[in-house]
Every structure is written in C-alpha cells, then in structure tokens.
Amino acid sequence: MCLVIACDEEERVVGSYQAPGICPFCGGPVIATDVESAWRLCFIPFFFRTKRKFHCALCTRRLVSYP
C-alpha cells in the first residue's frame, strides 16, 4: 500500500510599511513586510506563523535584523 502525504506552504502579505533605518548597502529606505504563512497537510491548515521581513526600497536587497 502506498500512502502519499502532500505538504504545502502558502504565504500571504498582511501589511507593508516603512521601517526606521537605512540600507547599509545603498543608503535607501527600509521597508518592513508582515507575511503570514500557513502549512497545509492535504489541504487542511495545521500551522500558522507570522513573520516580519525587511528589504530595501531602492536596491531590493533582503535585510536581516539582529535582536
């Protein structure tokens, strides 16, 4: 018997706004984006997570914040 389990991750942008600070590479403004991700097992959502991602508005580089 063969059992196939399909697992999928879906991301959705919740909001986007200007964050304080400047890009260390080009000096442009930093944009913060809130992303909600949902892990699905056979089309049934079983895990939700909200992440905040930062990127530059000019050079579009992804930036990492350290706490």
6: which strand partners?
none
Identify whether the C-beta of residue 53 lies closer than 8 Å to the C-beta of residue 32: yes
The pLDDT of residue 30 is: 96
d(CA 45, CA 52): 21
**For residue 12, which of 39, 36, 43 has the smallest C-alpha distance?**
36
What are the extents of the domains in the chain? 7-62
Blockwise average pLDDT, block size 10, the chain, 67 residues? 62 93 94 90 77 94 86
Q: Determine phi and psi for 3, rounding to 5 degrees.
A: -115, 120
DSSP label of 64: -
User: Residue 45 has which token pair?
Assistant: 């959502």
